[in-house]
Structures are given as structure tokens and as C-alpha cells.
Amino acid sequence: MAALPLTDSFGRVHDNLRVSVTDRCNIRCFYCMPETDVHFVERREILDFEEIERFVRIAVGLGIRKLRVTGGEPLVRRDLPTLIQRLCAIPGIQDLALTTNGVLLPKLAEPLYRAGLRRINVHLDTLDRQRFLQITRRDEIDKVLEGLALCRQLGYSKIKINAVAVKNLVEPDIVPLARFARENGFEVRYIEFMPLDAQSLWDRSKVLLADDIVAMLSREISPLVPVPDPDPRAPASEYQFADGVGRIGLIASVSRPFCLNCNRLRLTADGHLRYCLFAIEEDNVKTLLRSGAPDDEIAALIRRNVAGKWIGHEINSTRFVAPPRPMYSIGG
Ligand code: SF4
């Protein structure tokens, strides 16, 4: 008998799990982590492939159908193609995607493709070398562009570019990124800057809003027409250029929150389950996984976590409290 869907107290069904496989990263985006003295979790605290696979199998039994592998930077996790292969082989998984900063794609795009990965989001805020250096504190833009070209050549089915929209910084990049994507068959996802950075740099004045991005692109390239997305629960609102060349997505967590349709859960690299990117509390799955707890005890914990899920983030309210974990230790 099929398990009851993972439904929270607001009636939202959860079928999307984001799995962070490491909190480590090979670049240092200023809106995510400090340049130095970054505290990473000790390796023994990180879930191993068996533990991740076991958790995912249990979650699939409860209705999870979509997986996204994230980090930190997932490609720094050794033997990642092996994990991708194991996750692809789990019956019931309908969609598997990965988010990366692309620096290691020249080396890993092919093994990941052979392992079964077909959907990839590459984080790239700018095509300008100096601004890339300013944002990431690493001179690695060539590898990211080489990685994108290789993914296209290999035949990844959907290649998206995730661009974080920080105001008074990336305005000059919005249009060039869209042009680049149109020319190469990629889709840009412009992501409003969120209060998840390790140094509490965020404030509302630093958010380049979705409406401003739409206005810029419509003025400079072609008018943008909203496209009804097949899955209204997906975080991005989609637009098609009126001239028919390409689409963009807007992930407007600040100006157009989409929490009422949220279907996502997150497993951190050190084995904690979070019902929301901004959750203050989380459940420790690792202890159960490592204490020999039976599957149904872990399933019960997942159900409890979802049952206790709040209605959504409170960025726009005076009650907002930044989560105790920065972005790199949660995963996108
Ligand atoms: S902020 Fe939390 S509740 Fe809202 S869409 Fe994101 S994960 Fe879901």
C-alpha cells in the first residue's frame, strides 16, 4: 500500500529533496562565506554515500520524487559520480539535478554525465573577469565557461545559469548573461539576494528586485512574457522573450515569496533535516542513521519534520531571524 504523501499542516505535499553532500567550497562568494577562517564540519560528521542513499530511499518511500544535489560545492566531494549513479538507480526518482559553481566541470562534467546526470545549474553571476574575481575571490571564470560549453557538448538536457542579483554590483551583468544564454541555449535564473550569508551583509537595499530585472531585459533585449510553468511549485517564475529566443526564470524570494507552494525539504551534509532554507530548528537524522535505527523510525522523523513546517520565511516581517546556518552549510 502506497504511503500517505508528505503533507504539512498547510496542505503542501513535499516531493522535492535537496541533498547537500559537503559544506566545503573551492571559491569564496562574499554573499555566502567569509574569505578566510571559514568553519567547515569535520569529515567524520559528513554523511557517507551509504547513509545518503539510505535516507533518500526512505524519503522516496514517503513520496519524494525529485532530488537536487548541492553543497557547499558538490563537485569537491570525492567520487561524486559514484553517488550520482547510486541516486539515479533508486526506483521512484523521477528527476535528479545538481547545482555547482562550475569550476570543476571541465574535469567532472563527463563522468557525471556517464553516471546519469542530465540536469545541471551552474552558478555564474557575471561574465566579467574582474567582477567574477570581486564576487568569488577566485580567478576561475575560464573554467566555469569551459565547463558550461562542455555540458552543452555532452548533451545535458537542461543547463541553467543561477545568477545572484546583488544590487549596485551586477546590474551591468543582467543583460550580457541573458544574451550569452540565448546564444548558447541556456536559461538564466536570476535569484534575489537572500539573508543567508555568513557575515550578515544582507539588507533590503542590496536586493536587485525581480521587477527591475524584467524591466531591464525587456528594454534591452525583447519584451518578456510570463510563461505558465508546468509545476507551479517550482521556485522560479518563468518568462519567455517575445522574439521567441530563450527563457529566463526569476527566483524572487524577497519581493514575491513563493512559500505557499513550497514542496521542498533539505538534508544538510552533516545529516540534519530542514523543512525550510530559513528554518531555525532542524532534526538530527545522522544520529538515527548511525545508531542502527530502523527505517520506519527515520520515516517517522521525516513526517514529524514536515508536520511541524512553518508557513514560510519571514524576510518581510519584523519577526525575521536569520537561520543559525549560513548558505554554504545548508545548500541551495
Ligand atoms: S523560504 Fe522556506 S518555505 Fe519558503 S519556499 Fe523557500 S524553503 Fe519553502
Cα–ligand 1 centroid distance for 50 (angstroms) = 28
Q: Where are the domains of the chain?
A: 6-330
- Cβ of 275 closer than 6 Å to ligand 1, yes or no, is no
Mutation test residue for ligand 1: of 194, 278, 327, the one with most atoms within 8 Å of CB: 278
Q: Round to whole Å and give the CA distance between 7 and 306.
A: 7
Task: Quote the ligand 1 centre to 330 CA distance (angstroms).
Answer: 13
Residue whose CA is at the smallest distance from ligand 1 atom 5: 259
If DSSP states are collapsed to H, E and C, what string results for 310-324? CCCCCCCCCCCCCCC
The pLDDT of residue 1 is: 64
| Superfamily the domain 6-330 falls into | Aldolase class I (3.20.20.70)
pLDDT in tens, the chain (332 residues): 678 899 999 999 999 999 999 999 999 999 999 888 899 999 999 999 999 999 999 999 999 999 999 999 999 999 999 999 999 999 999 999 999 999 999 999 999 999 999 999 999 999 999 999 999 999 999 999 999 999 999 999 989 999 999 999 999 999 999 999 999 999 999 999 999 987 888 999 999 999 999 999 999 999 999 997 677 898 999 999 999 999 999 999 999 999 999 999 999 999 999 999 999 999 999 999 999 999 999 999 999 999 999 999 999 999 999 999 999 999 87
Measured in Å, residue 154 CA sits from the centre of ligand 1 at 33
Strand segments, DSSP code E, in 38-149 are 66-70, 95-100, 119-123
Regarding the beta carbon of 66 and ligand 1, being less than 6 Å apart is answered no
Distance (angstroms) between ligand 1 centre and the Cα of 292 equals 31
Q: Is 40 in the pocket of ligand 1 (CB under 6 A)?
A: no
Nearest CA to ligand 1 atom 2: 276
Using an 8 Å Cβ cutoff, are 97 and 119 in contact? yes
Which pLDDT value is given to residue 232? 83
Q: Which residue has the cell 514517503?
A: 62
The pLDDT value recorded for residue 198 is 79
Q: Work out the angle at residue 7's Cα, subtended by the Cα atoms of residues 3 and 12, and round it to the nearest 5 degrees.
A: 140
Residue whose CA lies nearest to ligand 1 atom number 1: 313
**98 ligand 1 Cβ < 6 A:** no
d(CA 68, CA 19): 6
**Which grid coordinates belong to 82?**
559514484
| 313 Cβ closer than 6 Å to some ligand 1 atom | yes
pLDDT of residue 114: 98
Helix (H/G/I), strand (E/B), else coil: 282:
coil
Strands lying side by side in the sheet with 66-70: 224-227, 237-241, 247-251, 187-192, 158-165, 119-123, 95-100, 66-70, 16-20, 264-267, 272-274, 283-284
